[in-house]
Amino acid sequence: MNITLDIERSLLLPVDHARALSLLDDLEATIGRFPNLKALTPLGPNQYRWDMRTMGVRIARIAHDLSYAAQYEIDRKAAAIRWQPLRGHGNALIAGEIRLSRNGGQTEMRFRVDGVMHEVPVPLLYRPLAGPFIVNKMTTLIERYLAATAAALATPAP
């Protein structure tokens, strides 16, 4: 079963825009903060393969080991990180964007992802529920990522 992702979430970061822009300086650290990331493997300049821990519920046999690769672009002028899928790696094609925008003395961080998770093994009985269930799991991971990023930025730089 293929599962389509189209998720957008945002969070107001408790730091000014200049501090938030430090996310653009270390791409690997910024994306490596994502929860349930088992391995982040460099493939080339600004190219990474993601291998995630199992997502879902094994007892219900709705579980998936998500793996994909992407080419990243850092757009300092737009205060954004964008990624496009690299074909031939893993079991998903995922694109997205992280965008930072001023919001008074703070910064809004918007995280958008869209794509398709391929060949998710789901028993026939659970297929009507599997898509929303997996999307909900991914949404929760994105929200945890935003919170972890806010916490990391709020910690004073060494």
User: DSSP string of 71-90?
Assistant: EEEEETTTTEEEEEEEEEEE
Q: Which fold has domain 3-154?
A: Alpha-D-Glucose-1,6-Bisphosphate; Chain A, domain 4 (3.30.530)
- List CB contacts of 20: < 8 A, sequence separation 6 or more: 13, 79, 100, 107, 109, 153
CB 5 within 8 A of CB 114: yes
- List CB contacts of 139: < 8 A, sequence separation 6 or more: 7, 9
pTM of structure = 0.90
Per-residue pLDDT tens for 67-120? 999 999 999 999 999 999 999 999 999 999 999 999 999 999 999 999 999 988
Cα(33)–Cα(148) distance, integer angstroms = 7
62 pLDDT above the threshold of 70: no
- List CB contacts of 132: < 8 A, sequence separation 6 or more: none
Cα(117)–Cα(124) distance, integer angstroms = 17
